[in-house]
Amino acid sequence: MSEPQSDEGPRRPVTLDDVALRAGVSQPTASRVLNGSARKVAESYRTKVLAAARELGYTPNLAAQVIARGSSRTVALIISGISDPYFSAMAAAIMRQAEANDLRVSIAVTDRRVDRELDLVRELRGQQPQAIILAGTGYVDPPSGGELIAELQRYEETGGRVVLISRTDLPFETVRFDNHEGARELAAELAGLGYRRSLVLGSATPLLSMQQRVEGFVAGMAQSSADTATEVAYPEFTWEGARDHILGLSDDELQRLQLVFAITDDMALGAIAGLRARGLRIPEDIAVAGFDDITTLRDVVPPLTTVHVALDTVAEETIKRALSPDGDVRTVPASPVVRASTPRLHG
């Protein structure tokens, strides 16, 4: 049997008809095998079609798969940024869990731009993924929340599923972790270790879950002891922002502090860089804590006190809801982990 392409001139794509001809089956049968139809195909035909597809180098048509299955086997993950170690770890956990469920993941990055998030959702509606997962944090006062909700509702009306991770600003199925309680418990533990004078590094960008971490930590300190003094600053929501804020403090301001708590581990590492540039030792001169328990903390000296978020559990719950929503909000615990960066104070 001759090949469907010629060696002379541009090579045309291999079609489903080519595969069916090579396998000796009808085109609808080849389509059911390669595009994932729910209708069963005899194993002998299935084997022939798959062998022919491999021999010819056939690439399935994703649009045809959507039609055959009624939905795609792709979930779209929209995250704030891939360079942030927290979001890269989350994306990796989602991809592992998706693969275990025979799903593929496409990733889009918003760079924390509300207009970009809205544009991405509009584009994804046309691609018909099985689910759209929005990870990250919503805004305290979302500037285009109504438009985003409307786009996502239109997507659900066509059979898609929406799952949110760690954001409560939209009325859709949600997997969250308790930012407020995790930060509050961490503050209570640190107060129990003797810390009274602390600086909280929040976010200049008004992000809802980050503000919950600030409020939780402040509440935990206030509830633990009457003589605590907790200052809150709002630098840029980056490693550099935390470092630069520390570099801008006066010597007197630094000398008053016993502890710096940053709302993410990435910002905590920036704070550590700033403190060391100021000639301070961690934890001998000042203690530092963060939130997220990112994997790169394994290489940090001293080991960083933080709040652990079980991303594998978050990913499992998210994919479960992408496949079969149950309409509720699942809260994954966020648990303090005290390490050498915050030793007990004496005296």
State mean pLDDT over 293-298: 88
Q: Is the pLDDT of residue 271 over 80?
A: yes
Which ranges of the chain would DSSP assign to H, the alpha helix?
A: 16-23, 27-34, 43-56, 62-69, 85-100, 114-127, 145-157, 179-192, 208-224, 239-248, 251-256, 265-277, 311-323
First to last CA, the chain: 88
Predicted pLDDT of residue 291: 97
Q: Does residue 10 form part of some domain?
A: no
Q: Can you give the pTM of this predicted structure?
A: 0.76
The tens digit of pLDDT for each residue in 301-345 reads 999 999 999 999 999 999 999 888 777 778 888 999 999 999 999
Residues 138, 91 share a domain: yes
Q: CA–CA separation, 105 vs 110, rounded Å? A: 16
User: Which residues, listed in sequence order, are joined to residue 119 by a DSSP beta bridge?
Assistant: none
Mean pLDDT of the chain: 86
Predicted pLDDT of residue 270: 97
Q: What single-letter amino acid sits at 347?
A: G
The tens digit of pLDDT for each residue in 197-241 reads 999 999 998 888 899 999 999 999 999 877 889 999 999 999 999
The tens digit of pLDDT for each residue in 93-124 reads 999 999 999 899 999 888 878 788 888 888 88
Residues 49, 163 share a domain: no
Residues 235, 190 share a domain: yes
Predicted pLDDT of residue 1: 46
Q: CA–CA separation, 267 vs 242, rounded Å? A: 5
Q: Is the pLDDT of residue 170 over 90?
A: no
Residue 12: both structure tokens together: 């045309």
CATH number of the domain that residue 42 is part of: 1.10.260.40
Question: Is the preceding omega at residue 4 within 30 degrees of 0, hence cis?
Answer: no
Q: Does residue 345 form part of some domain?
A: no
Predicted pLDDT of residue 144: 56
What range defines the domain where residue 317 resides? 71-177+313-323+326-332
Q: Does residue 193 form part of some domain?
A: yes
The tens digit of pLDDT for each residue in 40-84 reads 788 888 888 889 888 888 766 555 555 445 556 889 999 887 777
Q: Does residue 164 form part of some domain?
A: yes
Residues 83, 55 share a domain: no
Residues 43, 145 share a domain: no
Q: Does residue 83 form part of some domain?
A: yes
pLDDT classification of 181: cutoffs 50, 70, 90: very high
Residue 268, judged by CB atoms within 10 A of its CB (0-12, 13-18, 19+), counts as: buried
Residues 169, 103 share a domain: yes
Q: CA–CA separation, 141 vs 30, rounded Å? A: 51
Predicted pLDDT of residue 67: 47
Residues 25, 85 share a domain: no
Number of structural domains found in the chain: 3
CATH number of the domain that residue 169 is part of: 3.40.50.2300
Residues 134, 191 share a domain: no
Q: Does residue 2 form part of some domain?
A: no
Domain boundary among the residues 36, 52, 68 is at: 68
Please enumerate, as own/partner, the contacts of 89-94 that have beta carbons within 8 Å and a separation of 24 or more. 89/294, 89/295, 89/311, 90/135, 90/165, 90/311, 90/314, 90/315, 91/135, 93/311, 93/312, 93/314, 93/315, 94/133, 94/135, 94/315, 94/318, 94/319
Residues 157, 258 share a domain: no
Residues 285, 248 share a domain: yes
Residues 153, 77 share a domain: yes
Q: Is the pLDDT of residue 2 over 50?
A: no
Q: Does residue 209 form part of some domain?
A: yes
Highest average pLDDT, of 19-23, 134-138, 341-345, comes from 341-345
Q: Does residue 8 form part of some domain?
A: no
Residues 152, 126 share a domain: yes
Q: CA–CA separation, 62 vs 95, rounded Å? A: 19
